[in-house]
Structure 1
Amino acid sequence: MTTMLLFSRTDRDTSGESAPTPLKRRGGLIAALDVGTTKVACLIARADDDGGVPRVLGIGHHRSRGVRGGRVANPDEVEAAIRNALESAEDMAGERVDGVVVAVTGGAPESERIDVEMDVSGHEVRDSDMRRVLSCVGQHPRDPDRELIHCIPVGYSLDGVDNVLDPRGMYGERLGARIHLVSAASGPLRNLTTVIERCRLDVDGRVAAPYAAGLASLVEDERDLGATVIDMGGGTTSVAVFLGGHVIHVGVIAVGGGHVTNDIAQGLSTPLASAERLKTMYGGVLASPADSREILRVPLVGEDEDQPSQEIPRSYLVQIIRPRVEETLELVRAHLEAAGVDRVAGRRAVLTGGASQMPGMRELAEQILDKQVRPGRPMRLRGLADSVAGPAFATCAGLVSHAVQDQVERPMLDEPPRAGGVFGPVNRIGRWLKENF
């Protein structure tokens, strides 16, 4: 059971609503959906009950339309893109899915860390105590216009002693937990959920996009010793900081690869499609002596195809791209410093996302961020084709890792009883008997 769903269930218990469905569906199927500004990707995998590495059964992706800065701007276009990606993945997998785990980039995700504590009266710490201490988060004041998407315990304490990994079975008077909360604006979340439900799908879970990218691309030592994941998408650049095996910070910056495309289109007076092609095929952020000798043909916006194209040296294209990328990385650095996590996670950074693949990005990021930088690629998946095994699909792969890992990390934290219903008292009595006898 995932930490995120644990909090959702606790929150819904208070309001009397029904609990969400589990992340893994029948037969161990997991469906992941990443709705980005430039592409929609859907991945279907099967996870074995023995906790082995999931196997990819099908993947589909389609050009994204109707998404601006991670937010739904045109529901009809977004629905069509999701349906196309979903159908491609289902056809390849030979399976039909009715629920997905979704990446969240819209709604300006923000992090908050809180400490909660409760009395356990000297008895052995049980599963029920773990649930109770996490349910204390529900009493924390929240912005009514924001919705919680993660409630992640990053450490426990017992009688003032910190760094307790798992207090179950231990004895003490006061049980505490340090909890990382991730929230996002309710409106963009609801808009995305509505569009997904129009595609005959349930939203089984929501995961902050950089968190998912980190789960897919970081090795265990990086998660433990500290690393910063920078997911450079088309409309946004999102950041996640890992330390001690947990994600401790998440943030989003409203600048992405699409802004580079717009700069090229405006600077060269060329259509957006041509600008994207130039960026993908010839773009870069570091100049070389050969750039001035390589001549590129650039069609002009509004001109007929039979009209002669303008010719520019590749060095001019680099001069357009580099300032925007420098600005993006400087905003990332400023964001990390403002959040107080720039030095906490050490000097290791991992780049993911389609916009991170431009030549020279790693070297420029090392200069600006003052960190050791490497490209991040999906790991912990079997059967992933080479064409979709690059940084652009790290988030989608991480959604699968999240579903599988969280099913294993806290297997003892069962679903809390629902507050309402005819059988509510019976369930509570049964749970009390199970926990105390």
Structure 2
Amino acid sequence: MLMLTRTDRDRHSDAPPPAWRRRGGLIAALDVGTTKVACFIARADESGGGLRVLGVGHHQSRGVRSGRVANLDEVATAIRKAVARAEDMAGEHIDGVVVAVSGGDPESRRIDVEMAVAGHQIRDADVRRILACGGQQPSDPDRELLHCIPVGYTIDGTDGVLDPRGMYGERLGARMHLVSAAAGPLRNLSTVIERCELDVDSRVAAPYAAGLASLVEDERDLGATVIDMGGGTTSVGVFLGGHVIHVGVIGVGGGHVTNDIAQGLSTPLAMAERLKTMYGATLTSPADAREILRVPLVGEDEDQPALEIPRSYLVQVIRPRVEETLELVRAHLAAAGVDRIAGRRAVLTGGASQLPGVRELAEHILDKQVRPGRPLRLHNLADSAAGPAFATCAGLLSHAVQDHVERPILDEPPRSGGLFAPVHRIGRWLRENF
């Protein structure tokens, strides 16, 4: 249990309004994946009417490996094209984005913090201070904090407090979920986005965003596991009690299936991707042995005879990799101790989850009830962008408008000096206490 001192409490002031409020409700989300870059532009109705999508853009991703930037120029080009398409559709210009993070090996850690409130009514300022304290926890200098998420509060040691504001007590405690990622990949991602003349408003762990987009309220409360099967990585998010309690990333995705097809059939990568998309599956049917596929060989001229294989052979190439991915997910959940506490509900998102038979295979390997996930709670979203492949990007919009503090401002605000310093200090005290 970490105790918050008065010095720690006094160095934090009111947080500035989120960027989307300063921009008239305009929000932009950017998901830089291994196979595609997607950008959503939406407008938030500040009266509570939800999010209305104005523009969608996506482009083939190049220069990203396993969620990490590998070539700055190629990634920047893909981002510019995706953002330009979204801006053209929306008729708006954006200067900042909320970004998904799938690289950098995101890790979860849970801590308890506590501070004295001297019996007065607990205010917004008290909640911000205790969250800021959690964000100051010592960690690996090579990692950066992404989220500081309160998953529960205590007042004078009493558990089960969902929102302490307005209550009275001597001591306020908070249980927090900290999510961090390797600093190098995060900085590379920020650098390439800044090259595109865009600000990074906030960064969100990809499985957290996917869960916000695809889970219904009961699933978040009762417990569910989100498995986001992307091109280069498979992200895992566990939700319980209305909060995300664990995130993790496994370095295997749909791109590995494509590589297996290309190597197993000696065909170009573009043809392997086409075969996977049009004919791929993880479960065989009696008709697969009779359906013959023509597969051109890598390096051969177009007039050379193509390899002919039954579709069942393609399934035999695909299934082992998908099984391995799901087994790695199962092992990850068990190692983190969250394989059972979140119940038996799982939701699949991401482009690789759309392969026929993945749902049935996941139910067998994970021993959970599995359903496909897709973006929810977004108005005016085109059908072409409403599938599992765009769940993460949609969840970034939802995260941007959430009324909570997850990434506290840790830098000390500039101190007022000179003749008006006492006036500034009195004004700050009045804002925090009334």
TM-score band by shorter chain is over 0.9
Match of 1:322 in 2: 319
Do 2:135 and 2:145's aligned partners in 1 also have CA atoms closer than 8 Å? no
1:141 is the counterpart of 2:143: no
1:344 is the counterpart of 2:344: no
Match of 2:201 in 1: 204
Pairing partner for 1:309 from 281, 302, 306: 306
1:255 is the counterpart of 2:255: no
The 3 A distance-change label for structure 1 pair 124 and 138 is same
Pairing partner for 1:131 from 116, 128, 132: 128
Unaligned runs of 5+ in 1: 1-9
Unaligned runs of 5+ in 2: 1-7
1:35 is the counterpart of 2:32: yes
Mean Cα displacement is larger for which, 31-40 or 413-422?
413-422
1:420 is the counterpart of 2:417: no
Distance 2:113 2:105 in 1: 25
Distance 2:328 2:90 in 1: 40
1:95 is the counterpart of 2:85: no
Instruction: Kindly provide the amino acid, as one letter, of the partner of residue 403 in structure 1.
Output: A
How much has 1:27 moved relative to structure 2? 2.0
Distance 2:277 2:336 in 1: 33
Match of 1:237 in 2: 234
How much has 1:170 moved relative to structure 2? 1.4
Distance 2:424 2:65 in 1: 45
Please give the root-mean-square deviation of Cα atoms over the aligned residues, in Å.
2.2
Q: Deviations over 1:21-49 (max 9, x none)?
A: 62444221000000000000001001111
Distance 2:399 2:67 in 1: 20
Do 1:23 and 1:205's aligned partners in 2 also have CA atoms closer than 8 Å? no
Match of 1:433 in 2: 430
Match of 1:293 in 2: 290
Do 1:19 and 1:418's aligned partners in 2 also have CA atoms closer than 8 Å? no
How much has 1:240 moved relative to structure 2? 0.3
The 3 A distance-change label for structure 1 pair 218 and 56 is same
1:112 is the counterpart of 2:109: yes
Mean Cα displacement is larger for which, 417-426 or 374-383?
417-426
How much has 1:136 moved relative to structure 2? 1.7
Pairing partner for 2:119 from 115, 122, 128: 122
How much has 1:384 moved relative to structure 2? 0.7
Do 2:131 and 2:405's aligned partners in 1 also have CA atoms closer than 8 Å? no
Secondary structure in 1 matching 2:19: coil
How much has 1:194 moved relative to structure 2? 0.4
Do 1:23 and 1:101's aligned partners in 2 also have CA atoms closer than 8 Å? no
Q: Deviations over 1:256-299 (max 9, x none)?
A: 00000000000000000000000000000001111110100001
Instruction: Kindly provide the amino acid, as one letter, of the partner of residue 188 in structure 1.
Output: P
Match of 2:155 in 1: 158
Instruction: Kindly provide the amino acid, as one letter, of the partner of residue 160 in structure 1.
Output: G
Secondary structure in 1 matching 2:396: helix
Mean Cα displacement is larger for which, 354-363 or 113-122?
113-122
The 3 A distance-change label for structure 1 pair 138 and 416 is closer
The 3 A distance-change label for structure 1 pair 251 and 185 is same
1:218 is the counterpart of 2:215: yes
Residues paired across the two proteins, number: 422
**TM-score calculated relative to the size of structure 2:** 0.93
The 3 A distance-change label for structure 1 pair 342 and 23 is farther
**Percent identical residues:** 78
Match of 1:268 in 2: 265
Do 1:285 and 1:321's aligned partners in 2 also have CA atoms closer than 8 Å? yes
How much has 1:430 moved relative to structure 2? 1.1
Instruction: Kindly provide the amino acid, as one letter, of the partner of residue 393 in structure 2.
Output: C
How much has 1:435 moved relative to structure 2? 3.5
Do 1:24 and 1:403's aligned partners in 2 also have CA atoms closer than 8 Å? no
Q: Deviations over 1:388-425 (max 9, x none)?
A: 11000000011111112x1x3569x9989952154686
Do 2:135 and 2:408's aligned partners in 1 also have CA atoms closer than 8 Å? no
Match of 1:401 in 2: 398
Do 2:43 and 2:52's aligned partners in 1 also have CA atoms closer than 8 Å? yes
Distance 2:91 2:292 in 1: 47
Instruction: Kindly provide the amino acid, as one letter, of the partner of residue 192 in structure 2.
Output: V
The 3 A distance-change label for structure 1 pair 110 and 23 is farther
